[in-house]
Amino acid sequence: MNAADPATLYPQHLATLRARADEALLRSGHEHLLIPSGRRHYQLFDDRDYPFAVNPHFKHWLPLTRVTDSWLVYTPGQRPKVIYLQPFDYWHVVPEAPNGWWVEHVDVHVIRTPEEALPLLPGPAARCAILGEANSALGDYVPNNPAPALDYLHYQRSYKTPYEVALMRVAQRKAAHAHRAAERAFRAGAGEFDIHMAYCEAARQDATEVPYQNIVALNTHGAVLHYTELDRDPPTESLSFLIDAGASHCGYASDITRTYAADRGSEFQSMIEAVDAAQQAMCAGVRAGADYRQLHVDAHLSLMGILKDFGVLKVSPEAALATGVSAAFFPHGLGHPIGLQVHDVAGFAASDRGGTIARPEGHPYLRMTRVLEPGMVVTIEPGLYFIDMLLDEVKKNGHAASVDWARVDAFRPYGGIRIEDEVLCTDGAAENLTRPAFAG
């Protein structure tokens, strides 16, 4: 028996979700938990559907990301029930018959039309906490998303079970393999579109399957934080390559960024190595009790230290942080929770009864403000960019003397650097989930 096998780990995961559901129902005052998998959405005035995105609560219970109009039903003390739509449909491939490690742990009811779920749902509807989108309503069963249940479940979702971590490790390996293919394509002279295709081919996932749109940026495009244009032709000369791309596995996401210099002897390569070393030190800071807001502020100081070493910054890191100059070079957050969603829920949650922990002033894009605890998985993704729009603000705000503009001119053609890994917080040392995936 393999201890990392999801089949081995699933019963404990299910027991954890059942215990969480028991508490959520107590808090919301309902007797049953109902989770519709979701319905297809259609484009306006058209019969084209959007790529289906399953209800994250549904895929938390079951490794199913493609089944629509299905339901997870849980009543405390009873085995979970799965109402599974397998339609008669000769236009599309229908979901295969229920199979996999989850089947023996639940009662499965196969239905042929969405309406057949109705008599299988526990009544009355008013006694059900129904977590889902409005368009999942079926008869009286209208999603009510009770806040006490959602606040509790979202907060608890931060603590990944061993089953979830095992699936997330696979998502890491798929992405790391594809990142290597993308680097090879870059070094062979491919343009953005072809690098993207090389990535998808290696990941065996198309653009609708990867957990977010691939960011494949050559040269100055690396300075656009979420660059997704994918130029069809290679530039005249490729100096640098920033790729932020993940992979999905059983509904879990990975989110990895790497930056490369074409010239391994260049100053830009040295700067990448400095950011990489700093990033690994930041990853080691993912420890129980660490305040993620402090990690973010510490990251500013560390990155500004690098800019000082490379002669871009003329003032101390502390001064650059105080004046806002550091935010022009590092204009996003250090990272975010990740799991069933790339930007997972509850990054700001003050407690399992609601409330929000505010971002530190002057850091509007930070997506995680909590104190770290064992079981949480977060990204650590420091970056340094040369973004004219933001550097113009530095000048306008009277801080031009903080920067050596000739050095900015030297680095501008390379766009920027971001290095991103996922890190598991444990009882002891941080566990980087991404680095071993590249090493393997």
Which amino acids are annotated as binding site, given as ranges?
Answer: 244, 255, 336, 381, 420
Query: Does 341 interact with Mn ion (rule: CB under 5 A)?
Result: no
d(CA 332, CA 329): 9
Which of 136, 161, 302, 379: binder of Mn ion (CB under 5 A)? 379
Query: Does 255 interact with Mn ion (rule: CB under 5 A)?
Result: yes
Which of 192, 244, 344, 352: binder of ligand GLY (CB under 6 A)? 244
Which of 193, 212, 405, 438: binder of ligand GLY (CB under 6 A)? 212
Q: Which does 151 bind (CB under 5 to 8 A by kind): ligand GLY, Mn ion, none?
A: none
Q: Which does 192 bind (CB under 5 to 8 A by kind): Mn ion, ligand GLY, none?
A: none
Residue 270: CB minimum distance to ligand GLY, A: 24
> What is the 3-state secondary structure of 208-274?
CCCCCCCEEEEHHHHHCCCCCCCCCCCCCCCCEEEEEECCEECCEECCEEEEEECCCCCHHHHHHHH
d(CA 52, CA 46): 16
Which of positions 310-369 make contact with ligand GLY (CB under 6 A)? 336
Residue 423: CB minimum distance to Mn ion, A: 12
How many DSSP H helices and E strands does the chain contain?
Answer: 12, 15
Q: Which does 164 bind (CB under 5 to 8 A by kind): Mn ion, ligand GLY, none?
A: none
Which of 255, 344, 352, 421: binder of ligand GLY (CB under 6 A)? 255
Between vectors from CA 385 to CA 383 and to CA 388, what angle results, nearest 5°? 155
Residue with smaller CB distance to Mn ion, 304 or 366: 366
Instruction: List the binding residues for Mn(2+).
Output: 244, 255, 336, 381, 420
Which of 164, 381, 421, 422: binder of ligand GLY (CB under 6 A)? 381
Output Rg (C-alpha) for the chain, integer angstroms: 24
Q: What are phi and psi of 92, to 5 degrees?
A: -125, 160
DSSP notation for 381-419: --EEE--HHHHHHHHHTT-GGGB-HHHHHHHGGG-EEE-
Residue with smaller CB distance to ligand GLY, 192 or 244: 244
Write down the residue that tokens 């399953």 correspond to: 54
DSSP strand E in 8-140: where?
32-36, 71-74, 81-85, 107-111, 128-130
Query: Tokens in use for 7?
Result: 């089949």
Asked whether 6 and 167 are in contact (CB, 8 A), the reply is yes
Which of 69, 244, 344, 421: binder of Mn ion (CB under 5 A)? 244
Residue 370: CB minimum distance to Mn ion, A: 16
Residue 213: CB minimum distance to Mn ion, A: 10
Q: Which does 159 bind (CB under 5 to 8 A by kind): ligand GLY, Mn ion, none?
A: none
- Helix/strand/coil for 113: coil
Query: Does 422 interact with ligand GLY (rule: CB under 6 A)?
Result: no
Residue with smaller CB distance to ligand GLY, 67 or 218: 218
Query: Does 344 interact with Mn ion (rule: CB under 5 A)?
Result: no
DSSP, res 19: H
Asked whether 246 and 274 are in contact (CB, 8 A), the reply is no
Q: Residues in the site for Mn ion, rule: CB under 5 A? A: 244, 255, 257, 379, 420
Q: Residues in the site for ligand GLY, rule: CB under 6 A? A: 212, 244, 255, 336, 381, 420
